[in-house]
Every structure is written in C-alpha cells, then in structure tokens.
C-alpha cells in the first residue's frame, strides 16, 4: 500500500500533513524531506497519523527525528502510537473518535 500525504493549512505559521497508509520502505525518507522543506517556511508542522496503519523501523526513526526537530505527532491510541511512544517519540493522543482530525 502506498502512503498518501496531504497538506492542510494549519495556523498562519503552521501546516498539518495528513498521512494515510503505511510508513515503510522508501516513504519515510520522502516524508522527512517533505517535512524538512515545510519547516524552512513554517514555524510549526504537525503530522496527522490517524490514517496510518503501520510504521516500520525506518519510519519510526524518521518520525523520531522529526519529533526532535519540533514536529507534532497526532494520532489515536493503538499499535502505531504504542510503537512511537516506545521509541521515545512524543505523541499527542486523541482518545475520541478515530475518524476525527485536527484541521
């Protein structure tokens, strides 16, 4: 399955990227590049991970680096959130409906 990345306007100084699919194989590097480019022009970048079903080790590493760079990770509780938290990634949990989004 492919990873779909959709950009949504956040605040005036921020952006939200909604991810859908699996963060595996070559996708983590592409995601890191997209976030790095946004961070050049935006003060804040958030990743909406509600639609992510799986993250491999390369994906976890990229998300950890992005988190350390100030990117907020938004997701519901479950296996993806657990894997990220276990790897030391800061995660903002939404315990309400899994279909809710942050934009």
What are the domain boundaries of the chain?
Answer: 4-93
Give the architecture (CATH level 2) of 4-93. 2-Layer Sandwich (3.30)
C-alpha 91/C-alpha 3 separation (Å) is 20
C-alpha 91/C-alpha 93 separation (Å) is 6
User: Angle, to 10 degrees, between the axis of helix 27-41 and the axis of helix 57-68?
Assistant: 10
Strands of 44-55's sheet in order across: 4-9, 14-23, 44-55, 72-75, 91-93
pLDDT tens across 62-85, in order?
Answer: 999 999 998 999 999 999 999 999
Supply the pTM of this predicted model: 0.85
C-alpha 40/C-alpha 58 separation (Å) is 23
pLDDT at 1: 63
pLDDT tens across 6-58, in order?
Answer: 998 776 778 999 999 999 999 999 999 999 998 888 889 999 999 999 999 99
């Amino acid at each position: 399955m492919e990873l779909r990345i959709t950009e949504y306007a956040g605040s005036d100084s921020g952006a939200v990227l909604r991810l859908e699919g699996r963060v595996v194989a070559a996708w983590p590097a592409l995601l890191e590049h997209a976030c790095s480019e946004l961070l050049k022009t935006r003060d804040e970048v958030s990743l909406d991970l509600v639609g992510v079903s799986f993250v491999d080790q390369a994906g976890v590493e990229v998300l950890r680096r992005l988190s350390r760079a100030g990117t907020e990770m938004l997701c519901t509780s479950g296996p993806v959130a657990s894997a990220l938290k276990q790897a030391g990634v800061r995660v903002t949990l939404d315990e309400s409906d899994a279909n809710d989004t942050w934009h």
